[in-house]
Amino acid sequence: MASLLPKDRILLDVQGQAPPPSKDFVQFIVTPNETIWRTWRITLRNDYKRLMPSELKAPLEDFEHDERLQFDIGRIFGENTLEYAKRLCKGQVDYLMRMSKPLLIYLTSFLELEDVAHLSQTCKFMYEICSAEALWEQIFHHHCDTVTEEMTSLALDMGWKQMFFTNKLQLQVKLRRHQQKRASPDGGTTFLTED
């Protein structure tokens, strides 16, 4: 599947500063056909040769055997990034995670509610997608015949997901209270008392 990607497409691009004592700036890039490791040395010496950036390019197949590069990636960017880079180099590209959030929200809105619940349990990223207000707004509009201005206003206060799971009787009560609150001159902060 990775062969379907353009050769100049960047699958992974991480950059940061190495931990002490070196404090060098590094960048690691994975494309569909090679890895690129760039280093910018940081030194207080007046040695200009050490200040020149370096770049190492290697085919994806070589990354699996390059223990030094793997150690550096794990040390600087963490073990999760290292494992992800290893999977990319083996051709295991996660296309779903590469989609934009609005597109994922749109696609998820067509799933059954049980499938949305199962998808939210797969990883943190999908949990964020499945909990997004934009998703639940679309789901609410798909399942409800009419959405009034009052309903939209209430959803902005309580959230589309909570509104979707509120039963009709409770929703009517909440709508009535919300309308009374908006209609009162002080925004519903005072209570009427009988003399």
Q: What is the pLDDT along the chain (195 residues), one digit of tens a residue?
A: 445 455 568 888 999 998 888 788 999 999 988 999 999 887 766 665 556 788 999 999 999 999 999 999 999 999 989 999 999 888 887 777 778 889 999 999 999 989 999 999 988 888 999 999 999 888 888 887 777 788 887 878 788 888 888 777 777 788 788 778 877 766 555 544 444
Please identify which residue in the block is written with the tokens 């055997």. Answer: 65
SS3 assignment, position 34: strand
CA distance 117 to 128: 12
Answering whether pTM is above 0.75, one says: no
Checking DSSP bridges between strand 12-17 and strand 34-40, what pairing results, if any?
Answer: unpaired
CATH number for the domain running over 94-143: 1.20.1280
Q: Which residues contact 55 (CB under 8 A, 6 or more apart)?
A: 36, 37, 38, 39
Residue type, 7: K
Residue type, 144: C
